[in-house]
Amino acid sequence: MTARLRPTITTLVFSLFVSAGLRVAGDEGMWTFDNPPLKLLQERYGFTPTPEWLEHVRLASVRFNDGGSGSFVSPTGLVLTNHHVAAGQLQKLSTPKKDYLKDGFYARTRAEEMKSADSELNVLVSMDNVTTQVQSAVKAGQDERQALESRKAEIARTEKESLDKTGLRSDVVALYAGGEYWLYRYKKYTDVRLVFAPERQIAFFGGDPDNFTFPRYDLDMAIFRVYENDKPVETKHFFKWSLKGAKDEELVFVSGHPGSTDRLKTLTQLEFQRDVVYPISIRTIERRLAALRAYGSRGSEQTRQAGDFVFGLENALKALTGEYAGINNAEIFAKKTKEENEFRSLINGKPDWTSAYGSAWDEVARAEQRARELYRPFRFRQLRGSSLAGLAAAIVTYVTEVTKPDAERLDGFHEAQLESLKLGLFSPAPSYSAMDEAVLTDSLQQSLEELGANDPFVKAALGGKPPADIVKATMAGTKVGDPSFRKSLVAGGKAAVDASTDPLIVLARNVDSVVRAARKAWEQEVESVESAAGEKLGRARFAAYGKSAYPDATFTLRLSFGTVKGYPMNGTRAPSMTTLYGLFDRAHSFGLKPPFDLPARWAERRTRLDLTTPLNFVSTLDIIGGNSGSPVLNRQAELVGLIFDGNIESLIGNVVYNEQVNRAVAVHSASMIEGLRKVYDAGPLADELQGIARPAPAAAKKSR
């Protein structure tokens, strides 16, 4: 499966900074909608999307803020995404008695549609270039740290001003490593109701082994309906359903939200990632998974609670392992070295370029040197792993930050960001303190092992006691799992938090200053230098290569194009499509043993199915984690598929795109309809998706 956006340190720390425009090969590219690849499309495919086409596609595309993409697929608010994007909400809607993640869900009437706990969906309604404004906030004579603060202050001001003026979610986005800044305004939806999800076993057939591979046999879909004022949202910007769906060798598009790429990192940055970040991330996930599996082994209810968490970590682990292999590949590193050398000689070939940009690589190298020293304290001086501890830490930070002028606050706590932040802070989603106890114990044990007993964070958190003891007592006594308690703390402000005797709030308070110091050190000694150098590199790239390029991914809306196409694999060819036949082949090939077992409904209703129906397909579309749930479109902007994964060969796509074997994996539009009609008795929903008129169901009339 394509990872949902993984908020790794990579994303958090670097995504705003050192990337830059790229030169493009083949179907490569994640293009912003202000700079679509019209020339390339015309040259390669003889197709030029009109401005209306582009606007329609943009306005029908949806961002799932908990880490994925989606799209409107009906005039009355139906939104299609992946099961694994919906999984977080499915987990939150589930109870010990009803496991929607595992068993699926179908609302036969609108009244049965279930409101999700804390979904936020965004539609990009406008884009304004604010580069001059942000860059000119930096005053002559400011050093790197001051410059970073000035830019951040201007960004916060711009976002707040826009929010006040328009009421729309307003994000300033750094593209091309700060070569450009854009104000993106989003229409925001928070009443998002579940309409349909299949069983996890068919959505994620083949489980962890088949994840990120192809040929593949997954119905990784889910359908929500978006409401406003308790009524389904009406929109003319939705994708018409193509039952024929994707065809071999056809031109297709994807409009979605790739999370983060490192394609233009400098060599010293890649080396830092390779030598420090990946090994730490991988060993962290491995031990956290072990802790969660031990928790899950206590019983079926514990297994249910850990379901989506385990999936997310397994998914991230497989992705990171593939990326790590890629970044360790000598050929790939040689290619990156060659690219950087060419870029540097181009810049060094013109004296004015040299003086303006030439120092950037050495500046980055200096930042990476410090990063190697600061990374472990930065990463392990935090309460990680547990969502309850995360909520506690966020509340402790929140009440302090909101007392400051907007410009001086930590990222994530600016005025324009508070509404979305509160959606999570006050979410009614259930929490499981025993599970949080297991993961927080492991997390603190790891901090102890990585930093030693004398580290100030470890001392503040543990006070010399074993992590298990501290965490057991903390989780036993905390009320942070109760949304009304969290609300009361936030409402009470700093005074209430300072006075709280809730043990988890106390723990978060005890470590707060150490956490802040580590974050500050990282910001001042790494981020600020990378940021300034990154802006130079971004400008240098415009100077050297022009803007016939796309910026690294930033979890903002992008357009990619490609061809439905098989590829050479394992000595033979992978086809462009799989069929329902293949689902049953793979299941019986493994003797129906998990993770290759068939949901009962699929086994029982096999004879109803047209087994020649295409199930999944691959294309050269350039995607990455965050693109999960994106629509695949044909020239008519009809929906022909649903992105849910990249193949194993695409994992190095974080650093390089290789058109020969890099493939996006999607659910075919025909199999979604086949499944809805013949397995799930969801004919009315299929009709709505296909725009087939039929009398509104009686129950819909009494919809709330």
Sites of contact with its own copies (CB under 8 A)? 206, 209-213, 215, 248, 318, 322, 566, 569-573, 575-579, 581-582, 584-586, 588-591, 596, 611-612, 647-648
Beta carbon of residue 466, minimum distance to its own copies (angstroms, whole number): 39
Distance CA 107, CA 537 (A): 51
CB of 620 to its own copies, least distance (A): 17
Please, what is the minimum distance in Å from the beta carbon of residue 612 to its own copies?
5
Q: From the CB of 600, what's the least distance to its own copies, in Å?
A: 17
- For 489-501, b/e burial (b = at least 16 CB within 10 A) is bbeeeeeebeebe
Nearer of residues 217 and 680 to its own copies, judged by Cβ: 217
Question: What token pair was written down for 253?
Answer: 């598009």
Residue 155: C-alpha distances to residues 41, 174, 418, 536 (Å): 34, 10, 15, 19
Q: Are the C-beta atoms of 375 and 277 separated by less than 8 Å?
A: yes
Q: Which of 252, 227, 124, 98 is nearest to 564 (CA)?
A: 252
Secondary element (H or E) of residue 182: strand 180-189
Q: Is 102 exposed, middle or buried (0-12, 13-18, 19+ CB in 10 A)?
A: middle
Q: Report how far apart, in Å, the C-alpha atoms of 524 and of each of 144, 364, 397, 451 are.
A: 8, 13, 19, 21
In the complex, what is the shortest distance from the CB of residue 608 to its own copies, in angstroms, rounded to a whole number?
A: 14
Nearer to its own copies, 165 or 573 (CB): 573
Least Cβ distance, residue 126 to its own copies (angstroms)? 41
Instruction: List the one residue out of 241, 85, 217, 255 whose CA is nearest residue 673.
Output: 241
Contact 16, 540 (CB under 8 A): no
How far apart CA 290 and CA 296 sit, in angstroms, is 10
Q: Residue 50 or 572: which CB sits closer to its own copies?
A: 572
CA–CA dist 155, 183 (Å, integer): 9
In whole angstroms, the minimum distance from the beta carbon of 212 to its own copies comes to 6
The residue behind tokens 């810049």 is 347
- Residue 614 C-beta: closest distance to its own copies, Å: 8
**Which CB atom, from 314 or from 525, has the smaller least distance to its own copies?**
314
Within 8 A by CB and 6+ apart from 168, the residues are 125, 126, 162, 185, 186, 187, 188
Nearer to its own copies, 67 or 215 (CB): 215
Q: Which is nearer to its own copies, 325 or 700 (CB)?
A: 325
Which backbone phi and psi does 277 adopt, to 5 degrees?
A: -70, -50
Q: Which is nearer to its own copies, 426 or 581 (CB)?
A: 581
Q: Which is nearer to its own copies, 265 or 586 (CB)?
A: 586
CB of 205 to its own copies, least distance (A): 12
Q: Is the CB of 591 or the CB of 695 nearer to its own copies?
A: 591
Question: Residue 622 in contact with residue 562, Cβ under 8 Å?
Answer: yes
